[in-house]
Amino acid sequence: MRLVEILKNMVGKEMPEQAPPVTKWLNFVLRKVEQGHLTATMEVRPDMANPLGLLHGGVQATLLDEIIGMTVHTLEKDKPSVSVNLNIDFLGKARVGETIEVEAWVVRQGRQLIHVVGEIRNAEGKLIAKASSNMLNIEPK
């Protein structure tokens, strides 16, 4: 079964036991999966907050990096990809208990580099953070 189909079968469900530890910790739920496009939701928990009770910037970066990486996997490339960079603008806030939506989509895929953007929005649709990343196809060891 293709990876994009596996991810589609996970829509609306908890992450499986075999998911990477960081993915399980984030505990997001996939809502939409297409080739080159992914959407998920997540509730902001106390262990994700800064001292002000807001979603920590490092958690936002981790969430965006994870969703961007999963989006690249939906392309079914014959080589794995790794992040070359991750540029983030923190533009709003989300409080503990709020549900946020994170979305990523492929803008351009070349032979070696794949450019992806991602956004985090609150329940009202207000932009919390936006990111862009370049992913590099690598040779597996």
| pLDDT tens digits in sequence order for the chain, 141 residues long | 577 888 898 999 988 888 899 999 999 999 999 999 999 999 999 999 999 999 999 999 999 999 999 999 999 887 788 999 999 999 999 999 999 999 999 999 988 899 999 999 998 999 999 999 999 988 776
Per DSSP, what are the bridge partners of residue 44?
none
120 in Cβ contact with 63 (< 8 Å)? yes
* CATH number of this structure's domain 3-137: 3.10.129.10
- Furthest CA-CA distance within the chain: 44
Q: Is the dihedral of CA 96, 98, 99, 103 positive or negative?
A: negative
Residue extents of the structural domains in the chain: 3-137
Tell the residue number behind the tokens 């895929």, with chain if given: 109
Residues near 52 by beta carbon (within 8 Å), at least 6 away in sequence: none
